[in-house]
A and B are shown apart, each in its own frame.
Chain A
Amino acid sequence: DVKVTQSSRYLVKRTGEKVFLECVQDMDHENMFWYRQDPGLGLRLIYFSYDVKMKEKGDIPEGYSVSREKKERFSLILESASTNQTSMYLCASSPGLAGALTSTDTQYFGPGTRLTVL
């Protein structure tokens, strides 16, 4: 089974802190994604990566950055956390070549990290 793990289930940080959220997948997937999930807003894509060291902005990249130094690991970075970044953060991975969606594509999700910024 595909496994996507996230470094923390719950995280509490203070305004202005630099925050790292880590995601690891064990299926040699090309694509990895970071979403935030807020009540009534569904999932919104922050950033994604289709290859090592490659990244693309999603729908809401402001205030975030990402890093993908190894294929299995995708990090989300909040350079200076703010209270409006309090949310559930979900990581996902999927197979695929050069980022294009194919019929075999399925995004596999981690359990999420609930981040609270005080």
Chain B
Amino acid sequence: AQSVTQPDIHITVSEGASLELRCNYSYGATPYLFWYVQSPGQGLQLLLKYFSGDTLVQGIKGFEAEFKRSQSSFNLRKPSVHWSDAAEYFCAVGSASGYSTLTFGKGTMLLVSP
């Protein structure tokens, strides 16, 4: 069965500093990988996704993620964090076979300090 681990429950970053959120997945074949963001009181919004090809994926709001098969990781990065980036971030893995369901990690809450 596929699974996703987000090792950090909370992360605090100073505004303007760089950010990296970690995501490790477990899946037998080539995974489909996603990052979603959830602002307080809102549903989830897709930041970016990886299906194949270039392992560095660009997303919205200045985010990017890199797929590293050897490390089973799909870490999310942003060079300079803004206060509005404070939210909860979810990594998810999907399968190319079977149904189009996703397995989500437990999330990382990002706090941005002034």
Binding site for B on A (CB under 8 A): 4, 31, 33, 35, 40-45, 48, 50, 56, 58, 90, 92, 94, 96, 99-103, 105-112
Contacts and interface: CB of A to CB of B under 8 A. Distances in A.
**Looking at chain B, what size class is its interface with the partner chain?**
20 to 34
Given A42-B105, A90-B44, A56 B52 contact: no
Interface in B25-84: 32, 34, 36, 41-46, 49, 51-52
Contacts of A99: 98-100
A33 B51 CA distance: 21
B49 to A, nearest CB: 7
A5 B104 CA distance: 21
B12 interface: no
A103 B42 contact: no
B106 interface: yes
Contact of A110 (B43, B94, B98, B107): B43
Given A90-B44, A110-B43, A45 B105 contact: no
B102 interface: yes
